[in-house]
Chain A
Amino acid sequence: MKALSWLIVFGGVCGFFSMPEAKAAPKILVYCSEASPSTFNPQLGSDGPTFTAASSTIYNRLIEFKYGTTDLIPALAQSWKVSKDGKTYTFQLRKDVSFHSTDFFKPTRKMNADDVIFSFERMRDKNNPFHNVSGGAYEYFKSIGLDALIAGVEKKSDHTVVFQLTHPHAPFLTDLATNFAVVLSKEYADQLLKNKTLEKMDTDPVGTGPFKLVRYVKDATIRFSANKDYFRGAPKLDGIVFAITPDPSVRFQKLKTGECQLIAEPAPTDIKAMEKLPQLQVLHEPGLNIGYLAMNVEKAPLNKPEVRRALALAMNRKEYLHLIYLDTAELAKNPIPPTLWSYDAGIKDIPYDVKAAKELLKKAGYEKGLNLELWTLPVSRPYNPNGKKMGELMQADLAKVGVNLKLVTYDWPTYLDKGRRGEGQLMQMGWISDTGDPDNFFGNLLTCKAKEGGSNYAQWCNKDFDREVSAAEKTLNKSQRISHYKKAQAIFARELPWVPLAHASVYRAISKKLKGYKINPIGVEEFYPLDLAQ
């Protein structure tokens, strides 16, 4: 009798665990994302999870990046013209684009110039009724200076929009292809205005993109269904589910057990284990990023170029690639990665040369050595997965040339704040491009304007370098831009405000059932080109 009871209990337990998981829905991709989106309006966000959830999923932009590249392709704008002075951009819009039809909004017209103007006026015009809705910070739009650059957006006809700029800015088209620059529905905005529910614009989105938002369960799942009326044709997937999973090792386990088919940001330490699993495919591409050591040129003795060069020579950077990046990165010598146009492969690499470093230090008057403070990166980033360990390696390397490093770190916000104020001496930093234009590196990280803006952590302001970058920004002629950027790279190599460290490769692990996947160089995932094998 007792044995029989145990058998029943055992049978019950087995039955419980073997009950069917779920009804298999056709072609639903499960993507294990790393965090919740902060909003469903990319204009208001500046984080990867928001851009992945909304930018190319729910919305479109006037111009977009070709999948897996940084080449610009027409999207909502089918063509465009730039005036000779580079200050007027005229966009011809497509006439066949529909906004999503949902339970709460039924569009009565196709997308037109009013939608484009409304989308940009919401960010620009403080009197726009939607400007202050949902906090209205528009940090991305402002941080790349578009609020000051765009003088006006005008409607020339129902399908022609003109952007007037205050000054020529060659990366403008790339800026418009960036994730934040989505086109919202003016008709939907009018409906919300009438109903006095303005905030729904950002929580219950209506876009033109390949998928419609079905439901967001906070911090748990985001569910999308295919937009069968998408102007590029219906997506191959019937839907997508984002399973929000912040821990990278848990994401890996979920991929392994088949609970998701694609995961965000795999941990570098898991890559080798992933490669051994037959059900998975590991892809990698050179990343549009740079990890560097900023040397604050305003703090002695780092104001002397020979001291900066000596520090660079004394670092065994190839060893860092092996120990820190686990051989998943490329040695850097320029401030931009080799995959970006205008990269100068002719610049001489910085060798590991302890003897030369000692001589330079002697020449600079530091033969008895010197003490410096090194700030180690407090967060793990693709461009530097382990700042502390790298700091220890740098400390050991520089000790050989008589430079004593004191390792210091702060929590991430303090690190950024103090770095911005130029309080550090040596500071580990990095950058991941979000536009694929060289100006996104040069202009954003190394110019005098960037120093004022707080993103030039070396506090380096060189007039010659600035002149080249500024000239490259103002001309639309690509070969001229390349020439200016090459000159800028030569100045950088001579002055060395940074020790360029590495360009980390981007890794992705996917289920072999997932078809058509490409790594997006700007980091955000796109789902429209994907398919699932049954």
Chain B
Amino acid sequence: MIRFFLKRVLQSIPTLFIVSLVAFGMIRLLPGDPVLILLGERGGSPEVVRELRSTLGLDQPLAVQYVKFLKEAVSGRFGQSIVSHRPVSEEFWSRFPATVELGALALLFAIGVGIPLGIFSAVKRGSLWDRLMMGVSLFGYSMPIFWWGLLLILIFSVHLGWTPVSGRISPMYDVNPWSGFLLVDVWVRGLGWEGFVNALKYLILPAFVLGTVPMAAIARMTRSSLLEVLKEDYVRTAKAKGLAPLKVVVHHALKNALIPIVTVVGLMFGTVLTGAVLTETIFSWPGVGKWLVTSVIARDYPVIQGGVLLISFFVIAVNIIVDVAYVYLNPKLKGGS
């Protein structure tokens, strides 16, 4: 198992190298000079532009800039933001817990609702419930996040007043970040249940919006995977032995149907991070998604290349964990195939 894990880790190094090259190159292929964006409509004389470019290190050859970026990445700083003038790593780590907290709740919702929904549809295959649920999941899967988010804000926040419009906790609470995970920090800072419930109220709607697409994908994958397994002989045998239908499905069929579901969950981690870009923007959620959008608009090169590299690192890490989970679920894979 350890050998398998190490092999996967080593394989990820060239991937990260390629990601660094693509992130570095792509942002520079985009037209637009960060210095001119800083100056805006005001402009600046060629000397001012030249001096600013030199101060920001943008006048150096691309190869030099890339090597500098790699050195900074290896040192863990990832360079300095052109806009905030702070180290990229510092900027990233102060926002990443917010994204993880949102993404974790979104995935929890997606798994918690998606799998039972898929099981129910598979068991009741062809029934009205099955069609209805698959219709709902298709609706969820094709939902544009931006529109969906605004619609839910309008219904639940403006009309019903059940949830706050946006943010992470009521501005009246002064929470000094400790771990960055607000649901934890409210306890550390002594705000107790009141603070926890308040933070949860702010989290529910964005997590629901972000979890909608993964929930739909997981539900559909669970259904189709389970339907395959339910056709197997051993399931028929279990039924013939007189086991309760629920026991047959959960104990016998579901474990074997889980491998493709785990694959989807692993892939959905990437989807959640992509979706976070939009969800965080709509709900003013102070995570890395919103930070990256702002940085692309400002052409903050160090932030974009550093941020993309760090996010890729986490996506790869999660997929390694998923690979390890395969081995646990299907011991046949232990051989390293």
Which A residues fall within an 8 A CB radius of B? 16-17, 19-25, 28, 30, 35-36, 38-39, 44, 46, 134-137, 139, 142-144, 199, 202-203, 214-215, 217-221, 223, 241, 243-247, 249-250, 253-254, 256-257, 259-260, 410-414, 416-417, 420, 429-432, 444, 450, 452-455
Among the stretches B48-56, B66-74, B242-250, the one at the interface with A is B48-56
* Residue B168 interfacial (CB < 8 Å): yes
Tell me if A19 and B150 are in contact (CB < 8 A). Answer: no
Give Cα A429–Cα B283 distance, bound, in whole angstroms. Answer: 31
Contact assessment for A257 and B157 in the assembled complex, using a CB-CB cutoff below 8 Å? yes
The 7 A-B residue pairs with the shortest CB-CB distance in the complex, in nearest-first order: A413-B32, A455-B43, A219-B286, A454-B43, A22-B172, A220-B286, A134-B85
**Cβ-defined contact, A417 with B38, below 8 A:** no
Known A243-B284, A253-B158, A413-B37; contact A220-B167, beta-carbon cutoff 8 A = yes
B170 at the interface (CB under 8 A from A): yes
Taking the nearest CB of chain B, how far is it from the CB of A335, in angstroms?
14
Q: Does chain A have a CB within 8 A of B309?
A: no
Interface size range of chain B in the complex: 35 or more
Q: Of residues 127 to 159 in B, which have CB atoms within 8 Å of A's CB atoms? A: 150, 153-154, 157-158
Q: A143–B52 Cα gap in the complex (Å)?
A: 10
Mind listing 14 A-B residue pairs with CB under 8 Å?
A: A139-B44, A217-B175, A217-B177, A219-B284, A246-B281, A259-B164, A413-B36, A416-B41, A417-B32, A431-B41, A452-B46, A453-B43, A454-B46, A455-B42
Question: Can you name the residue of chain A whose Cβ is closest to the Cβ of B95?
Answer: A218
Q: Measured between alpha carbons, how far is A439 from B163 in the docked complex, in Å? A: 49
Residues of B participating in the A interface, judged by any CB pair closer than 8 Å: 30-34, 36-46, 48-49, 51-52, 55-56, 80, 82-86, 91, 94-95, 98, 150, 153-154, 157-158, 161-168, 170-177, 194, 197-198, 201, 281-284, 286-287, 290-291, 294, 297, 299
B85 touches A39 (CB 8 A): yes
State whether A420 touches B36 (Cβ < 8 A): yes
A134 contacts across to B, CB distance below 8 A:
85-86
Q: A19-B194, A219-B290, A417-B36 are in contact. Are A250 and B284 (CB under 8 A)?
A: yes
A214 to B176, CA, bound (A): 10
Contacts A135-B80, A139-B52, A454-B43; is A22 near B85 (CB within 8 Å)? no
Using Cβ atoms and an 8 Å threshold, which residues of chain B touch A223? Answer: 174
Residues on A with beta carbons closer than 8 Å to the beta carbon of B85: 38-39, 44, 134-135, 199, 202
- The CA of A529 and the CA of B36, in the complex, are separated in Å by 35
Residues of chain B within 8 A (CB-CB) of A44 are 85
- Given A139-B39, A245-B166, A412-B32: A16 touches B197 (CB 8 Å cut-off): yes
Interface of A is mostly: mixed
Shortest Cβ gap from A451 to chain B (Å): 10
Q: Contact at A250–B166, with CB atoms within 8 Å?
A: yes
Is there contact, CB below 8 Å, between B32 and A414?
yes
Q: Which residues of A contact B80 (CB under 8 A)?
A: 135
Residue numbers in B under 8 Å from A453 (CB-CB): 43-45, 48
- Residue pair B44, A250 in contact (C-beta under 8 Å): no
- Whether A411 and B31, one on each chain, are in contact in the complex, defined by CB atoms closer than 8 angstroms, is yes
CA distance A250 to B30 in the complex (A): 29
Q: A39-B85, A135-B56, A142-B52 are in contact. List 9 more A-B contacts (CB 8 A).
A: A21-B172, A38-B83, A135-B80, A139-B39, A139-B44, A259-B171, A413-B32, A417-B31, A454-B39
Do A454 and B171 have beta carbons less than 8 Å apart? no
Contact A413 B46 (CB under 8 A): no
User: In the complex, what distance in Å separates the CA atom of A414 from the CA atom of B30?
Assistant: 9
**Inter-chain contacts of A410 with B (CB < 8 A):** 31
Q: A250-B165, A410-B31 are in contact. Are A241 and B41 (CB under 8 A)?
A: no
Tell me which of A21, A144, A430 contacts B198 (CB under 8 A): A21
Do residues A455 and B37 form an inter-chain contact, with CB atoms below 8 A? no
Among residues of A, the one whose C-beta sits closest to the C-beta of B287 is A219
Q: Which residues of B contact A249 (CB under 8 A)?
A: 150
- Residues of chain A lying within 8 A (CB to CB) of residue B33: 413, 417
Q: Which B residues are CB-close (under 8 A) to A219?
A: 95, 284, 286-287, 290-291
Q: Are A454 and B198 in contact (CB under 8 A)?
A: no
| A444-B299 Cα distance, complex, nearest whole Å | 25
A25 touches B172 (CB 8 A): yes
CB of A442, distance to nearest CB on chain B (Å) = 14
Minimum Cβ distance to chain A for residue B253 (Å):
28
A144 to B40, CA, bound (A): 13
